[in-house]
Amino acid sequence: MSSTATATIVGNFTSSNCGEVNGTATSDTGLQPGADVAINGNTDLSSCIVGNSGGKVYGIRLVSNAGFYKYRVDVDAQGPSGIGSGSINLLFTDQTNDTYSLAITSSRREEHTVSYNSDKPSIVKIAWSD
């Protein structure tokens, strides 16, 4: 085994709304800094968090951040395509019940971020809507 290989740390979420344009996923333990979101056991979120007109989220990771904001949620996603197709709106709720929002509007697959400060930064709920 290579000394540079690292195991992926995951935050396990559950959802009964996978594949729906509006949904939520929750976790009892929360998403810790350095971990990727897994919903219903899968870190490829593209069949779970979806928007209209082909919008989808591929992955979500929480990272510790240097600078003014201590934490950052990185989202690998593409928004809906076509004129007037809108966006995928994401809400991330931490252990203090503070919620941080991110709108995915670009139809190109790229990284989107939302930064925040919190005394209890673990994300315990993710909601999405169009």
- Mean pLDDT per 10-residue run, the chain (130 residues)? 58 97 96 96 97 94 94 96 85 98 94 97 96
Q: Looking at residue 86, what is its pLDDT?
A: 83
**Residues ≥6 apart with Cβ < 8 Å to 112:** 74, 75, 77, 102, 104, 106
Q: Looking at residue 4, what is its pLDDT?
A: 47
Q: How far apart are CA 25 and CA 126, in angstroms?
A: 5
Q: Looking at residue 103, what is its pLDDT?
A: 95
Cα angle 39, 41, 43 (rounded to 5 degrees) comes to: 65
Phi and psi angles of residue 110, each rounded to the nearest 5 degrees, phi first? -160, 175
Q: Contact at 8 Å (CB) between 116 and 71? A: yes
Q: Looking at residue 8, what is its pLDDT?
A: 74
